[in-house]
Structure 1
């Protein structure tokens, strides 16, 4: 089971900031910046490259909503939204 699936199942604790039936968002345990939040689908996918389109749309909608909240609440200069695929 991947680490994100372990978090979704509750086997690994996380500081959850958002959750619905399709998505979970939580603070990174080793943040690269203040407010570093991961937004992941509850359904296991290898990456956004193979995520079903409807689910990917929902993940991005949630990411947008959370990014706006972070920008407003943390008074930050900007927001980075990214994905990592593979080892590179």
Structure 2
């Protein structure tokens, strides 16, 4: 079982990554450049569909981590019980 501290660290990291992905998405929507080059160096940013999928994945991960911290997540496996007549 993962400790609460580890879950909190993962949640903080995912929240920060989600903020950065959203900022990059908004910058790209506002007409930011997708790629440029200076001399022999090239820089390419994410494209919009890739950012949308990244944001969606991060939102799911954040939701999952929050539910695990709240205790509402599925941390246990289901166990089947078969009633018998003795």
TM-score when scaled to structure 2? 0.34
Q: 1 or 2, which has the higher strand percentage?
A: 1
Rg: which structure is higher? 2
Q: Which has the higher contact order (CA 8 A, sep 6+)?
A: 2
Higher helix share: 2
